[in-house]
Amino acid sequence: MMDLAVRDIRHDLGRFVLTALGLGMLLSIVLAMTGIYNGMVVDATVLPDTLGADLWVVQRDTKGPFAESSRVPLRLAERLRAVPGVSRTRSYVSFNVQRTGVDGRVQRFMLAGLSWPDDTGDLLLLAQGRSLRAPHYEVVVDVSLGLPLDAQLSIGRDVFSVVGITSGMVSSGGDPMLFVSVADALNIQNDLSNEALRLEGEARLARVRRSEYGRDPASLARAGQPRLPALTPPPVNAVLVDVQPGQDPVALRQRLEQWPDISVYTLEEQRALLVRGVIDRARRQIGLFRTLLVVISAIVMGLIVYTMTLDKMHSLALLKLLGARRGVILRLILEQSMLLGLLSFFVALLIGELLFGHFPRRVLVADSDRLALAGVVAGISGAAGLVGLRKALSADPNQVLAS
């Protein structure tokens, strides 16, 4: 039996291709939504995944730096290093920075501190350059920040040299990440201007004058001398703990949980916190939007196949008059619907290949997502075909005699 579906398509190929292009664009948005959804999850978890610590030790009764403010003493890393079963500890600090670049554009990024020299950034996804080799004034930046190697970057009152460029290292908000040593990060975070230092000194002198020490001229003289404002090192956000090979991280965690000043989370818990907590609403919103798009695609495709069937009602009535079996009509309608779906699917894939890389945030489409979309398109095509088929089977052979 000749292929009626293909012959009908061939007869009006331009219209069919344009229809498939339109539908393909719609499906490409479904694919983009899936990719953005996946990208958000990867973006959110790329940092803990890359750092790869077994345990995250944070301020007691907090969820850690990805969820809320967490401050632990810098020396906590040394205390933890002394615990049996711990192979390495790293201090962790991160904060968002928004500044105006030399070109006048607003730059927003997340700055993270690496526990130099224990962690120089060797685990980062370096695309160019190298990790940190000095404790100060070197920075590894993500490629999405747009800076070349050896560029000079001014943050706070210091100038950093770009020594390495990572690829895909972004925060859960999609901002590029920058890595400096913990010491530099703390300096930037706690830096005070000269005026702030002067005012702080004035305030200290006034406090001494109001106290009983103000009656002692020697005390007053000491309070008025310029000196560093902080006597203790500033806190970090967390300490990352690597467990020795063969040691059970859960058992170690249970031991550490008995310390009154800290809470401990596994890597999986931190990941879950990011996925279910930090990006949960955006994730659900995109998921719902994607579902809505699938429904819209199904409706649009159903209408297209229905219209294509309406255009052929006379031919279908003639086929019935000539005694064509239902299978002939069924094949004609369903095959066209499937071919439309297939072409639209490949158009969607092509659009994805060409455009998704230029999106401002990571769009991550896996083979399983393409396969799932193929399944969805097959389902939609089948359902649309059934809509058309219902109409097709109602074609009345009398119509041919009446015409």
Partner 1 sequence: MTEPARRTVVSAENLSKTYGEGALRVEALKPTSFEARAGEVVAILGPSGSGKSTLLTILGLINAPTTGSLRIGEVQVIENALPRTSLERQRRQQIGFVFQRSNLIPFLTAEENVRLSLEIDGVNAYESRKRARALLENLGLDKRLLSLPAKLSGGEAQRVAIARALIHRPSVVLADEPTASLDSGRGRQVMELFRDAAHAQGAAVLVVTHDHRTLDLVDRILEMEDGRLTERARAPGVGRSPA
Q: Which is nearer to partner 1, 82 or 402 (CB)?
A: 402
First to last CA, the chain: 27
1 binds partner 1 (CB under 8 A): yes
**Shortest gap between Cβ of 393 and partner 1 (angstroms)?**
13
Query: Which of 337, 312, 325, 324 is CA-nearest to residue 392?
Result: 312
Per-residue x/- track, 7-36, partner 1 (CB under 8 A): xx-xxx------------------------
**Shortest gap between Cβ of 339 and partner 1 (angstroms)?**
14
Burial (CB < 10 A; 0-12, 13-18, 19+), residue 2, is: exposed
313 binds partner 1 (CB under 8 A): no
Q: What angle do CA 237, 241, 245 make, to 5 degrees?
A: 170
Encoded tokens for 230 = 């902080």
Piece of 78-86, 115-123, 188-196, 311-319 that binds partner 1 (CB under 8 A): 311-319
Among 74, 313, 318, 386, binds partner 1 (CB under 8 A): 318
**Shortest gap between Cβ of 321 and partner 1 (angstroms)?**
6
**Shortest gap between Cβ of 388 and partner 1 (angstroms)?**
16
Contacts (Cβ under 8 Å, ≥6 apart) of 47: 94, 112, 169, 171, 177
Among 14, 323, 357, 360, binds partner 1 (CB under 8 A): 323
Query: Which of 96, 238, 118, 235 is CA-nearest to residue 177?
Result: 96
106 binds partner 1 (CB under 8 A): no
Q: Which is nearer to partner 1, 207 or 326 (CB)?
A: 326
Among 50, 219, 266, 315, binds partner 1 (CB under 8 A): 315
b/e for 254-293, b at 16 or more Cβ within 10 A?
Answer: eebeeeeebbbbebebbbebbbeebbeeebeebeeebeeb
394 binds partner 1 (CB under 8 A): no
Piece of 51-59, 229-237, 292-300, 322-330 that binds partner 1 (CB under 8 A): 322-330
β-bridge pairing 158-166 and 152-155:
antiparallel
393 binds partner 1 (CB under 8 A): no
- Among positions 33-62, residues that touch partner 1 (CB under 8 A) are none
Handedness of CA 374, 379, 382, 384 (dihedral sign): negative
Neighbours of 136 (CB within 10 A): 13
Side-chain half-sphere CA neighbours of 1 within 13 A:
10
321 binds partner 1 (CB under 8 A): yes
Q: Which is nearer to partner 1, 8 or 158 (CB)?
A: 8
Which residue type is seen at 192? L
Piece of 4-12, 63-71, 101-109, 384-392 that binds partner 1 (CB under 8 A): 4-12
Query: Which of 11, 32, 28, 8 is CA-nearest to residue 20?
Result: 28
Piece of 184-192, 196-204, 272-280, 316-324 that binds partner 1 (CB under 8 A): 316-324
Among 205, 328, 330, 342, binds partner 1 (CB under 8 A): 328
Q: Which is nearer to partner 1, 86 or 319 (CB)?
A: 319
Q: Which is nearer to partner 1, 214 or 397 (CB)?
A: 397
Among 325, 359, 368, 379, binds partner 1 (CB under 8 A): 325
At residue 142, what are phi and psi to the nearest 5 degrees? -85, 150
397 binds partner 1 (CB under 8 A): yes
CB 309 within 8 A of CB 316: yes
Cis bond before residue 135 (omega within 30° of 0): no
Beta bridge partners of 241: 55, 89
Q: Which is nearer to partner 1, 253 or 320 (CB)?
A: 320
Q: Which is nearer to partner 1, 6 or 354 (CB)?
A: 6
Residues that bind partner 1 (CB under 8 A): 1-2, 4, 7-8, 10-12, 314-315, 318-319, 321-325, 328, 397-398, 400-401, 403
